């Protein structure tokens, strides 16, 4: 994702941002208050897998020192997701927010586990938190829901939030057995060697928690989302659903009821004429059911380096707008 | 649409707007600088078909006087669409803009015929022009494209932009003949007694021109959009398409090529697994093809009083944000 972001900054200029530091435990760390050259970073990492052969005034800073000393106005957190502890990302975000720096994260862990703590802290420090990349990667559904649909009265949200399981179910519908479809997804790089986070539904459940907190004002944690994965699904079930005019999809769902909110991820029988039914392969989609507009659906990519990099750029542009172009 | 707007203002308070004047050649005109009561307006029009039995300091003002003397900060233009002259809406908008009043229009005529003139005039007067309701009614695709997708590099836009023709094609796919489907659409109030604007494609073409101008910086007029309607389509064609894994949809399309832009509305054979294929009945949808995100699709309602009223509310909220809550 970091490389996707840097490619966008290089190729789609002019953006009114400079990249003043990069810190990666595997690829090395550089900082330059005058700005690092995106093209040089990309070429060096592509040649050597690392960035630290480049010249820069500061080198070898780990994340904590980078946050403290780079002089950046915004910290972009893109470390690997850990849905059990939320670390190291939560610590990075807390640190940056306490310093009064605006933050952008593509990491679901901190927000699926500590949303309210982090956003309360951010509010107390007048800090902005961008998180567009945590749900549907660069498809801007969080801004869509929050800025453009909120006044329509969102009653429920249903979505296909995980591309790996959607790919597996699409392949099974085309005739593959579960194990076959899973190993195909692994070969194509859609599923990890340990696919549990995807197929048992925790990736989707983390996104459901984020949607609940960000769009419906809830205070949910990953563990509050009822969860059932796709590992138990047989091809016969998929065929039976099909015969009944339905398609089995792993659906994340939020439903407001009375004063409460039900949050779940589970395989659902979606009618073929519903927009979510036609979302195939690794695509993702979200249907908002609203009081005034009825159903509104957005579909788009659910993952990808460039796609998630775009989410970061969107968040940066939105921070810039919010700050009125002024440095604080 | 006016009544939809007033219902939203009544039922979904608090909105930081007051309704200071209403002018309708058929239902009467009232103005009150202290604000008119939405509930009283709705009850009176529902009882008598008119509003002018209500007490108000000013009555009987036609549109021109209302714009000139109501003291409103924003003029909302919702007169009937005329795609030949653009009047009376274009005159109303020009008048309001020249007075320095922000405007919102749900009327396609002025923007499909005089977009550049009106937006240039607005810019010279520091006036904001809201037009969300002109395409996909309240489904906020204009703001989505302009605010959330622009940096992704929009290469093409394809959409189902007319609910009447989509309804007719959906019914024909279910077995109806063209004439039968059309009269069914007329009975349900989806098609007008003179259905030419819908079935010959000019309604969709007007929306294509607005999308081109608003999202792609073009200077197109309705007449620049190549146009073919659905009246000539036989059921056999629809069945043949279906046998080939496709569905015939009336698709409005904008395609950037070299330095130019191709704009068209015509029946297209859409593959069944494309998101536009599953948009049935009177729903509408828009697919943006972007450089960074690939295809992103939004589907939702394409018409309706409350839905278009919501578009006006969205535009008003966006004007308020832009003005920072300040009156000028």
Non-local (6+) Cβ contacts of B102 within 8 A are B73, B74, B75, B127, B128, B129, B130, B319, B323
Whether the Cβ atoms of residue A199 and residue A173 lie closer than 8 Å to each other: no
Indicate if the alpha-carbon torsion angle B157, B162, B167, B168 is positive or negative.
Answer: negative
Provide the pLDDT confidence category of residue B38 given band limits of 50, 70 and 90. very high
CB-closest option in A151, A299, A301 to B313: A151
Please give the Cα distance from A174 to B263 (Å, whole number).
36
Phi, psi of B137 (to 5 degrees): 40, -120
Contact A295, A203 (CB under 8 A): no
pLDDT at B16: 87
Q: Cβ contact (<8 Å) for A151 and B275?
A: no
Known catalytic residues of B are 207
> Of A178, A176, A143, which is closest to residue A250 (Cα–Cα)?
A178
Residue A223, CA distances (Å) to A81, A210, A226, A229, B275 in order: 16, 12, 8, 14, 33
CA distance B177 to B39: 44
Report the number of secondary-structure helices (H) and strands (E) in chain A. 12, 12
| Strand-pair partners of A298 | A286, B298
What pLDDT shows up at residue A257? 85
Given a contact cutoff of 8 angstroms between Cβ atoms, the answer to whether B169 and B282 are in contact is: no
| pLDDT-based confidence at residue A258 (cuts at 50, 70, 90) | confident
Mean pLDDT of B308-325: 91
The verdict on a CB contact (< 8 Å) between A144 and B144 is yes
By C-alpha distance, the chain B residue nearest A15 is B151
What are the tokens at B13?
Answer: 């308070």
- pTM listed for this prediction: 0.96
Cβ-in-10-Å burial (0-12, 13-18, 19+) of A19 comes to buried
Contact residues, chain B, for A12 at CB < 8 Å: 151, 153, 292
Q: Which residues of A touch B153 (CB under 8 A)?
A: 12
Q: Is A286 within 8 Å of B285 (Cβ atoms)?
A: no
Residue A29, beta-bridge partner list? A23
CB atoms within 10 A of CB B59: 14
Q: B148: which chain A residues are within 8 Å (Cβ-Cβ)?
A: 140, 143-144, 314
pLDDT above 60 for A326? no
Q: Which residues of B touch A273 (CB under 8 A)?
A: 278, 280
Tell me which residue in A149, A277, A299 faces B297 most closely, judged by beta carbons: A299
Q: Residue B273: what pLDDT?
A: 87
pLDDT tens for each residue of A54-101:
999 999 999 999 999 999 999 999 999 999 999 999 999 999 999 999
pLDDT for the residue numbered B257: 85
Q: What is the pLDDT of residues A128-166, one digit of tens each?
A: 999 999 999 999 999 999 999 999 999 999 999 999 999
Structure tokens at A261: 């909110």
Partner-chain residue, chosen from B147, B280, B298, that has the shortest CB–CB distance to A298: B298
Confidence of residue A192 (pLDDT cuts 50, 70, 90): confident
Q: Is A170 helix (H, G, I), strand (E, B) or coil?
A: helix
Q: Report pLDDT digits (tens) over A88-114.
A: 999 999 999 999 999 999 999 999 999
Interface test with A, best of B16, B278, B316 (most A CBs within 10 A): B278
Q: In this predicted structure, what is the pLDDT of residue B192?
A: 85
Yes or no, beta carbons of B148 and A153 under 8 Å apart: no
Q: Look-up: residue for tokens 């190549």? A: B226
What pLDDT sits at residue A261? Answer: 96
- The owner of tokens 């520091």 is B126
Active-site amino acid positions of A: 207
Whether the Cβ atoms of residue B311 and residue B108 lie closer than 8 Å to each other:
no
Q: Do A138 and B292 touch (CB under 8 A)?
A: yes
ipTM computed for the complex: 0.95
pLDDT in tens, B70-101: 999 999 999 999 999 999 999 999 999 999 99
DSSP secondary structure, A127-153, as one string: --EE-GGGSSTTS-HHHIIIIIIGGG-
Nearest chain A CA: its distance from B83 CA (Å):
26
User: What's the pLDDT at B259?
Assistant: 80
Interchain pair B138, A152: CB under 8 A: yes
pLDDT score, position A268 = 97
Residues of B in contact with A136 (CB under 8 A): none
pLDDT at B13: 72
Q: B18 falls in which pLDDT band (50, 70, 90)?
A: very high
CB A299 within 8 A of CB A277: no
Q: What SS3 class is residue B285?
A: strand
Q: How far is A292 from chain B (nearest CA, A)?
A: 6
3-state secondary structure (DSSP) of residue A4: helix
Residue B4, class by beta-carbon neighbours within 10 Å (0-12 exposed, 13-18 middle, 19+ buried)?
buried
Cα gap A200→A186, rounded to integer Å: 15
Q: What is the mean pLDDT of residues A216-243?
A: 95
């Amino acid at each position: 994702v970091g490389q996707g972001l840097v490619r966008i900054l290089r190729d789609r200029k002019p953006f009114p941002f400079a990249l003043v530091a990069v810190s990666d435990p595997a690829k090395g760390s550089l900082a330059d208050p005058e700005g690092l050259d995106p093209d040089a970073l990309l070429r060096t990492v592509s040649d050597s897998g690392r960035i630290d052969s480049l010249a820069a005034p500061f080198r070898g800073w780990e994340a904590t020192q980078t946050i403290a000393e780079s002089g950046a106005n915004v910290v972009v957190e893109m470390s690997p997701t850990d849905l059990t502890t939320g670390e190291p990302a939560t610590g990075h975000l807390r640190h940056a927010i306490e310093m009064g720096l605006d933050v952008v994260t593509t990491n679901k862990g901190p927000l699926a586990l500590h949303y309210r703590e982090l956003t309360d802290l951010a509010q107390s420090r007048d800090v902005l938190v961008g998180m567009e990349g945590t749900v549907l990667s660069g498809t801007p559904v969080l801004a869509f829901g929050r800025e453009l649909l909120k006044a329509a009265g969102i009653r429920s949200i249903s979505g296909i939030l995980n591309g790996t399981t959607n790919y597996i179910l699409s392949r099974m519908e085309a005739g593959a057995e579960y194990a076959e479809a899973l190993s195909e997804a692994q070969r194509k790089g859609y599923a990890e060697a340990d696919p549990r986070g995807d197929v048992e539904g925790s990736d989707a459940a983390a996104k459901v928690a984020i949607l609940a907190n960000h769009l419906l004002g809830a205070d949910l944690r990953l563990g509050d989302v009822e969860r059932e994965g796709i590992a138990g699904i047989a091809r016969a079930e998929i065929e039976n659903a099909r015969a009944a005019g339905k398609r089995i999809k792993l659906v994340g769902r939020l439903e407001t009821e009375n004063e409460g909110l039900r949050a779940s991820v589970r395989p659902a029988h979606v009618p073929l004429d519903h927009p979510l039914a036609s979302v195939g392969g690794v695509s993702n989609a979200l249907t908002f059911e609203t009081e005034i507009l009825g159903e509104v659906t957005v579909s788009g990519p659910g993952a990808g380096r460039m796609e998630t990099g775009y989410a970061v750029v969107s968040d940066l542009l939105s921070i810039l707008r919010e700050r009125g172009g002024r440095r604080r």
